[in-house]
Amino acid sequence: MAIGGLRSGRPSGQGLPCLRLSLALSLSLSLSLSLWFGRRPARASSSNLSAVQPSETPKTRATEMSGKPKLHYTNGRGRMESIRWLLAAAGVEFDEEFLETKGQLDKLKQGSLLFQQVPMVEMDGVKMVQTRAILQYIAGKYNLYGKDLQERLWIDMYVGGIMDLMELIIVYPFLKPEEKGDRVALIAQRATTRYFPVFEKVLKDHGQDFLVGNRLSLADVQLLEAILLVEEKVPNALTEFPLLQGFKARISNIPTIKKFLAPGSKKKPIPDNNYVETVLSIFSK
Ligand SMILES: N[C@@H](CCC(=O)N[C@@H](CS)C(=O)NCC(=O)O)C(=O)O
């Protein structure tokens, strides 16, 4: 079915199954989204709980621990992309199992998803859900989460802001054509007046290569991801931010990240109509 057909009859902003926006961003869109999520109560059945609270035998867990993390999501960016970025930055190889149909999602929901939602990452014997929790676990495990509580706080605050900016972009492919122009303007405005000035100042004030503690962290990886996302929509977004231009070049050159940015990696492309259609077919009721 054509995208237009999928959208027809939907109020503005519906059809955004993977995303939530804050009320401050768009009240009407947010209302549609909360209605969307509200349709599915996240009830943890006993089978759900047994799937995520490790009751496995030591042997099972040891076997899983020796393997690569397995990512369960669609074959597109969405909420999983930051997890892919972070694993890649940490130099961790991973496997992916792509959801292509609603039936596959329903099957996964039978005992593997704590809140009936993806992203889900099988790692270290746990079926992990909730994007932030997964990112924080990976960052902690691979020394990308600061050296103490204070550094983690700064990383979390920076990441919170960066994620708010990225959410503006992640919903973009699901907007109606007539909404897209305004969204690009909003992305440009938020990036250049709210978020980028903060990070430019951080780099200027401490004069170091990274945002926190002068070593690579989750915050650096996410900021680079966000900069590249913004530039896809607003190519000159960094013009006024010379230190961020340097930051972008520097972080992009870290070997693990360079590899992820090169063709043929597991980094996902800009969502196209085909992807939008697939997502809508999997997550619509
Ligand atoms: N807070 C969760 C939200 C996850 C989420 O909304 N997942 C969507 C796909 S991107 C989903 O699985 N929707 C299916 C459903 O809610 O039934 C997270 O950050 O991981």
Q: Domains of the chain: which residue ranges?
A: 70-275
117 CA → ligand 1 middle, Å: 4
This prediction has a pTM of 0.83
199 CA → ligand 1 middle, Å: 29
Query: What is the DSSP annotation of 47-94?
Result: HHHHHHTT-S-HHHHHHHHHS--EEEE-SS-GGGHHHHHHHHHTT---
Report which protein residue has its CA nearest ligand 1's atom 18.
Answer: 130
Diameter of the chain by CA atoms?
A: 56
Let me know: does 90 contact 144? Beta carbons within 8 Å: yes
Q: Which atom of ligand 1 is nearest to the CA of 109?
A: 17
How far is 162 from 82, CA to CA, in rounded Å? Answer: 11
CATH class of 70-275: mainly alpha
Q: Beta 120-123 vs 70-73: how paired, if at all?
A: antiparallel
224 CA → ligand 1 middle, Å: 24
DSSP strands (E only) in the chain: 70-73, 95-98, 120-123, 126-129
Let me know: does 36 contact 48? Beta carbons within 8 Å: no
Report which protein residue has its CA nearest ligand 1's atom 11.
Answer: 117
Neighbours of 71 (CB within 10 A): 23
Q: Which of 105, 117, 268 to mutate to test the pocket of ligand 1 (most atoms within 8 A of CB)?
A: 117
Let me know: does 72 contact 126? Beta carbons within 8 Å: no
Report which protein residue has its CA nearest ligand 1's atom 15.
Answer: 117
Q: According to the model, what pLDDT value does residue 285 have? A: 76
Report which protein residue has its CA nearest ligand 1's atom 6.
Answer: 18
Let me know: does 16 contact 28? Beta carbons within 8 Å: no
Q: How many CA atoms lie within 13 A of 33 on its CB side?
A: 19
Full pLDDT tens readout for the chain, 285 residues: 333 333 333 333 344 546 543 434 443 443 333 333 333 333 334 444 444 454 443 334 444 455 899 999 999 999 999 999 999 999 999 999 999 999 999 999 999 999 999 999 999 999 999 999 999 999 999 999 999 999 999 999 999 999 999 999 999 999 999 999 999 999 999 999 999 999 999 999 999 999 999 899 999 999 999 999 999 999 999 999 999 999 999 999 999 999 999 999 999 999 999 999 999 999 987
- Pocket, ligand 1, Cβ cutoff 6 A: 17-18, 40, 78-79, 116-119, 130-131, 283
Q: According to the model, what pLDDT value does residue 18 have? A: 61
Residue from 9, 21, 2, 13 nearest 187 by CA: 21
**242-263 burial by CB neighbour count: b if 16+ within 10 A, else e?**
ebbeebbeebeebeebeebbee
Let me know: does 129 contact 114? Beta carbons within 8 Å: yes
How far is 122 from 68, CA to CA, in rounded Å? Answer: 9
